[in-house]
Copies of this chain bind each other. A is one copy, B any other.
């Protein structure tokens, strides 16, 4: 099986590449070739034949060049993030919408009908919401990023219906705990308030304890992508965009879980510094879902927020808390 990862330098892309290189197989088939693509250089894991290519998916001819290797399985994780897509309107549409379309057109032209697993987002939804968003709730994104993800989902469903590709869009929850440095993403604090205290640092909490959100660990997210790659999509039918299961937790519940897992001294490293503007932005985000369809299809979430913290400690901190 020839596997392609687009956006292989990202956090999830890198983890996926290492996982596939380690497993050596996917959906019951040996991986003969793994191609990693990103606009920035990416690490090459050991284990199986891996090749790397750099480029901008949205540049003319690039998608065709990538698909020329005739991948059987494509993970499309390439995107610019929400904040940047909001600030740079043209760049967001070029990368997040035109990039997906160029990929689909290249696949259609190649005529190979590969499986395509697309990382979509709960940004496809916009407030106001019911208490829990069910699988039939409409997409009214309140960001350009969410609009671009929703449009990509629609294109993938239509190209799949026409038989040009065998695609599925998995709407990922907010990934938590995100490893690495604090970034400027508006959602960054959800991870910061866990990761930084565990590493001995102070973290700023800009919203109130009652704010509820929808989470998955990086490990659960990898599980979603791998399950989507091996699923029988005939059973999924023409509705190819699926909200993944997750853990709904309030900030207060996040902190309580941190205290339980790592102790009060760690939890006390969180400093409250309310930011009314950010609280307003967060109010427009989904809080909770009822992802019945994904559960029926065998996608599995983390059990609770404590498990999400323990996964971070295991996978990123070698089991050690400072």
Binding site for B on A (CB under 8 A): 89, 126, 130, 135-142, 144, 147, 150-151, 154-155, 157-158, 161-162, 238-239
The verdict on A158 contacting B136 (CB below 8 Å), with A126-B238, A151-B151, A238-B126 known, is: no
Report yes or no: A154 in contact with B161, Cβ–Cβ below 8 A: no
> Considering the chains assembled together, what is the distance between the CA atoms of A126 and B160 in angstroms?
15
Contact of A158 among B147, B157, B238, B239 (CB under 8 A): B147
Least distance between A165 CB and chain B CB atoms (Å): 13
> Considering the chains assembled together, what is the distance between the CA atoms of A157 and B239 in angstroms?
22
By a CB distance below 8 angstroms, the chain B residues around A139 are 138-139, 154
> Considering the chains assembled together, what is the distance between the CA atoms of A53 and B192 in angstroms?
57
Report yes or no: A157 in contact with B138, Cβ–Cβ below 8 A: no
Report yes or no: B161 in contact with A142, Cβ–Cβ below 8 A: yes
> Considering the chains assembled together, what is the distance between the CA atoms of A130 and B134 in angstroms?
14
Report yes or no: B141 in contact with A162, Cβ–Cβ below 8 A: no
> Considering the chains assembled together, what is the distance between the CA atoms of A140 and B139 in angstroms?
10
> Considering the chains assembled together, what is the distance between the CA atoms of A126 and B162 in angstroms?
15
Report yes or no: B140 in contact with A157, Cβ–Cβ below 8 A: yes
> Considering the chains assembled together, what is the distance between the CA atoms of A246 and B239 in angstroms?
26
Known: A89-B162, A141-B154, A141-B158. 17 other contacts (CB 8 A): A126-B238, A130-B136, A136-B137, A136-B138, A137-B138, A138-B139, A139-B154, A140-B238, A140-B239, A142-B238, A144-B158, A144-B162, A147-B154, A147-B155, A147-B158, A151-B154, A151-B155
> Considering the chains assembled together, what is the distance between the CA atoms of A142 and B137 in angstroms?
17
Least distance between A84 CB and chain B CB atoms (Å): 15
Least distance between A302 CB and chain B CB atoms (Å): 26
By a CB distance below 8 angstroms, the chain B residues around A239 are 126, 140
By a CB distance below 8 angstroms, the chain B residues around A144 are 158, 162
> Considering the chains assembled together, what is the distance between the CA atoms of A142 and B147 in angstroms?
20
By a CB distance below 8 angstroms, the chain B residues around A141 are 154, 157-158
By a CB distance below 8 angstroms, the chain B residues around A126 are 238-239
> Considering the chains assembled together, what is the distance between the CA atoms of A162 and B89 in angstroms?
9
9 contacts between A and B (CB under 8 A): A130-B136, A136-B137, A137-B138, A140-B157, A141-B157, A141-B158, A147-B154, A147-B155, A154-B154
